Structure 1
Amino acid sequence: MKVLVAVKRVADSNVKVRVRDDESGVELAGVRMGINPFDEVAVEQAVRWKEQGVATEVVCVTCGAAACGDALRTAMAMGADRGVLVETDLGFDLLPLHVAKLLLAVIRREQAQLVLLGKQAVDDDCNQTGQMLAALLGWPQATFASGVEIAGGRARVRREIDGGSETLSMPLPAVITADLRLNEPRYVTLPNLMKARKKALATLRPAELGVELSEHLQTLRVTEPAPRAEGVRVADAAALIDVLKAELAR
């Protein structure tokens, strides 16, 4: 079974990013970058299946500028077999639908039987790519997976829902998006990073995949969130109710 994992290069979650002076976006120059944490969990799960003999090959894919190849090298250092960079230089940010269309073309090219990706990216928090991809493929999907078992050509997925959790069973091929509860990603060592440089990393352009991308949204302005108001200390529950009533009346 070939497993394809989609990863995204994002600012390190431990780094505080700031808005550019012209409010055109966030400043990423000089900021430490890495794999989206949810995608890192997806890579770890695919590599574990490879080690267990469930998967025969793990292919990681990312879309974006040439620098995004760093995320693929990290994924290959974790144990992925190959990387595919769909290099884009469009002058505008890729939207979830753009990424889903590019992944669709790569999946058909690779003939993958299972697609894993994080449930969302920590930079835009869209939580849309996996669902759009499943719709384009016409495959069953399971989102927010906190546990996955593969056996007999089917996937048994435990997923988080508002009321707790539920377990689904669906045939392969399928699309699964990973929650952080799925596993704990391994630490990437320097020797494995050096070995990853020898693994194959293919670079494709959207035109080679037969995908034409156009701008649908335009970012007008990006601003810092308003500072949180200072809290108020109250003496008892009655005073708290008075404060809440006053807030609602504003």
Structure 2
Amino acid sequence: MAGELKDNRGRGDAEWRWPAIHPEGRKFGLIGIAASAVVLLGLDWEIIGWPMLGLSAFVFAFFRDPERVVPQAENLIVSPADGLVSLISEVPPPPELQGDDGSGRGLGSEPVTRISIFMSVFDVHINRAPVAGTVRRIIYLPGRFLNADLDKASEENERQHILIERADGLPIGFTQIAGLVARRIVPFVKPGDLVAVGQRIGLIRFGSRVDVYLPRGTDSKVLLGQRVIAGETILAETGKQGLLEGVSL
């Protein structure tokens, strides 16, 4: 039909499908299945083997990688993570994202709105680019493994800062933070890469958090307690103010 709106793969029909399993997780799931088979078939230890098999299925589910339909307006900042909006606060950006380190201008040192998204072990853990642009910085910092829901996790936990510069020169920064269970942040991109909004840029294994730093003069369009979807939920429109107040039900 002329003028028909299609999905993000150019199709005109909507259909449900099983989400793919990201390659990063297939090896863990297959190792779990192999170990379960040895325990069940080789040792006949059903009391251990069946829970191990269930755990293997959970590992596959943890690394699921569903398709997302991404908003395309250039002034939008979309969520980089699935999860719960656990904190919205005014804070200075991390020092690693503030100044110009030769890779391009940073976020500055003045306080901005930070949106923190907590990912439980039941959420999708593939992280996506909140805007389209050029990856200017990826800075990994080792640290502790505190509960990612705590405010101080932004400064004390293992984390990775990413700075993307839009085509209009506006820098957008966000941080992947490891949590109690997470033990590795896996990047899919490197400095200098061009990324599209909603493109997969990395993952954090087994429970974590992502902080997004909105540009000055930009307020949150999401509420504390709201659930967001990576690559789909709009967190903010750059240059738009008028902070929402309320709670999600």
More helix, by proportion? 1
| Larger Rg belongs to | 1
State the TM bucket, normalised to the shorter chain. under 0.3
Give TM-score, length-normalised by structure 1. 0.25
Give TM-score, length-normalised by structure 2. 0.25
